[in-house]
Amino acid sequence: MAVLPIKLTKTNRDKLAQVLWVLNWISVVTGIILFSLGIFLKVEINKRQDLMAESQLQSVPNMLIAVGLIACVINFLGGKICYDCVDTNKFLRWKLVMLPYIICTFFFTLSVLVGALMCYSMHGQLEEALTLGLRDAMRYYKDTDTPGRCFLKRTVDQLQIQFQCCGNKGYRDWFQIQWVSNRYLDMSQREVVDRLRSNYQITNNSAYFNYDYQTEELNLWMRGCRQALLDYYTNIMHSVGLTVLIIWLFELSVLTGVRYLQTSLENVLRQGDPESESDGWLLENSFVETARSNFNIIKHLGKFNQINISSNGDPNIDKPPTAHYGPDNVPPKPLPMAS
């Protein structure tokens, strides 16, 4: 029994083909949107790459860029096919192409869904990359004279100013490292050592004269930069993921329409009357029967390959040799025995 069958008249088929032609061109635009989202996400990640550890974060924007390019090609071809399907005679040119096209479009649509899910699932990976990256950036904060690290101080300072954050988990992270270059310090002087140690006593009221940290307006941002960046990128990922999910639903609807158009036109060819009403469906048989049929096809292919391997690819290996005796195929007479 067919899955979700519908009946389409000649007028309905023509209207469906025209609507799908328009939707495929809209899908080309959605492909450009996917490509643009991938580029935007890639730029945002590269913008603060110095503050992130090496990870697979680039896999998400690369996936969106690839899917966007494929969407433009597939939907451009789909628009051409649907435009020609208005004429039954022109459909004959695409009859053998449509089923492989639908299969490729199905896997493409599945990849769009995977891209959307990847946007929602990279929170943990992003948090780990930021934790390790900010830790190393703070560790090398003082190395303003070291090649490759001389810009880290400015990067971290701009980050803390822009996002109003401090440290990795919080401002106390700066107390665990030496963030002033040795070039500006004379560790032999007790005053310098005492000032460095006083950083640990911000919440100690007795360490300073007439001081109460709970009432003073301290110029410290309590939120850590890891959490600030994590919230920033999470909002971006969720927005991109929602957009990709909407595009996936749109592409799925276009794929469904193309499948109905293809099956209804093939049934018209079987009936032999282009003006007649025809059935369209998603699957000719039920899901279980379709899965069983595909499994049997794969099974028979496997047996065929095993026979070819066992016979070393020679189809005549089990056949007895046949002698050929010339054009008349008459065996020669035996020679007389010598006396």
pLDDT tens for residues 108-145? 999 999 999 999 988 888 999 999 989 888 888 887 77
CA distance 236 to 126: 12
- 13 pLDDT band, cuts 50/70/90, is confident
Q: How far is CA 326 from CA 86, 335, 336, in A?
A: 60, 18, 22
Residue 100 CA from chain centroid, whole number = 22
Average pLDDT over residues 210-221: 60
CA distance 166 to 169: 8
pLDDT at residue 222, rounded to an integer = 80
Question: Is the pLDDT confidence value at 309 over 50?
Answer: no
| Sequence-ordered list of residues with C-beta below 8 angstroms from that of 296, at least 6 positions apart, any chain | none
Domain ranges of the chain: 6-138+237-301, 142-203+218-226
Per the DSSP assignment, residues forming a β-bridge with 278 are 8
Q: Is the dihedral of CA 19, 20, 23, 28 positive or negative?
A: negative
Task: Count CA atoms closer than 13 A to 161's CA, side-chain side.
Answer: 6
Percent of the chain with pLDDT over 90: 26
| Sequence-ordered list of residues with C-beta below 8 angstroms from that of 170, at least 6 positions apart, any chain | 222, 223, 224
CA distance 124 to 115: 16
CA distance 274 to 255: 23
Question: Is the pLDDT confidence value at 326 over 90?
Answer: no
Question: Is the pLDDT confidence value at 195 over 60?
Answer: no
In the chain, count H helices and then E strands: 8, 2
Q: Which residue has the tokens 């900010």?
A: 134
Average pLDDT over residues 157-183: 81
CA distance 175 to 177: 6
Please give the single-letter amino acid code of residue 270.
R
Question: Angle at Cα 128 formed by Cα 127 and Cα 132, nearest 5°?
Answer: 120
* Residue scoring higher pLDDT (175 or 196): 175
| Sequence-ordered list of residues with C-beta below 8 angstroms from that of 115, at least 6 positions apart, any chain | 34, 60, 63, 64, 67, 244
- Count Cβ neighbours within 10 Å for each residue of 66-80 and write b for 16 or more, e otherwise: ebbebbbebbebbbe
DSSP SS3 for 278: strand
CA distance 137 to 142: 9
Average pLDDT over residues 142-162: 82
pLDDT tens for residues 26-76? 999 999 999 999 999 999 999 888 888 877 788 899 999 999 999 999 999
What letter would DSSP give residue 3? B
pTM passes above 0.75: no
Residue 294 CA from chain centroid, whole number = 27
Q: How far is CA 289 from CA 5, 100, 266, in A?
A: 16, 20, 21
